[in-house]
Structures are given as C-alpha cells and as structure tokens.
Amino acid sequence: MIGIREVRHFCRCIIIIVFLPWTTLCQVKFTAETSQVQVEANTPFLLIYKIIDGQSDELELPQVKDLTIQKRPNVETSVTIINGKKSGYVKYTYQVVFSKEGKFILPPARAKIDGKWLQSNSLTIEVGKPVVRNYDSKGRDVFLKQF
C-alpha cells in the first residue's frame, strides 16, 4: 500500500520535473569570447561580451597588462518576441590588441544586471610574434599590359 509519505515525495518529484526547465529558461547569462584564441602581437582582434536575457547597468572589464582597447565598443541589441515570450541579448564588441608576446589569461568581466553582479567566463589567448608578410612580386610584372 502506498503511504502519504510516498505520495508527497512523488508530487515533489513531479513539480521539480515540470518547473526545472522554466528556471533555466529565465536565467540571465553573461559570456565572453574572442574572434581568435591565437593572435599576433600588435594585431587587432575582437573581444566580445554577451548578456543573454538581461541588460547591464554597468560593465567592468578586467585590467590586463599589455592589452589595449583600440575603440569604443560596438553595442548590438536583439529582442525577439515569439508567442508572447520575450528573449534577447546585448553584445559588446571591443577591438583590442596585445603589445607583447606570451600566454595571457583574461579574467572574468563583471556586469551589474538587475542589481546583481554577474561574472563572465575567463579567456586564454596566446600571442605570438608578428609575421612579416612579403608582398614582393619577385620581379614579375603585376600589372596587365595592353598590346
């Protein structure tokens, strides 16, 4: 015979199974990514911070020695409403450059979202020597001749 204790446990399990996916759908995510994980010194690349299903009041970037932000961020916003459900993101794209070679770890950035501070993931970037590109035509005529 099934007791009251087993019925309560079964009901709790059903409630958790039904409502657990909803909690993950409503969570705000804050991520960091780059356009490249291996870059050349003194060569610009993109550093991207993305806030999914939320908006930031403040964004604090990590301070990294030998990393320079070259331009103000490009801010992209997207909002989608499907069948009354709203979702979207805000993406901050920075053009940055490392001045020295080495393996660098970018600590997490912080964003204040709905009064709470969230941290992004950290990133590891390998910076190598700048590649010397030879654009010499090796004596060949690179222009077309008209006969």
Q: Tell me the mean pLDDT in the region 17-35.
A: 70
Per-residue DSSP letter, 134: -
Domain that holds residue 89: 28-128
Residue 127 to residues 33, 97, 110: CA-CA distances in angstroms? 16, 10, 24
Within-domain flag for 58: yes
User: Could you tell me the CATH number of the domain that includes residue 70?
Assistant: 2.60.40.740
Within-domain flag for 134: no
* pTM (global) more than 0.75: no
Q: Can you count the helices (H) and strands (E) in the chain?
A: 1, 11
Within-domain flag for 40: yes
Within-domain flag for 54: yes
Give SS3 for 11.
helix
pLDDT tens profile 98-147 = 999 999 999 999 999 888 999 999 999 999 987 776 665 555 555 666 66
Q: What's the mean pLDDT when you consider all of the chain?
A: 83
> Residue 21's pLDDT is what?
47
Within-domain flag for 138: no
When divided into structural domains, the chain yields a total of 1
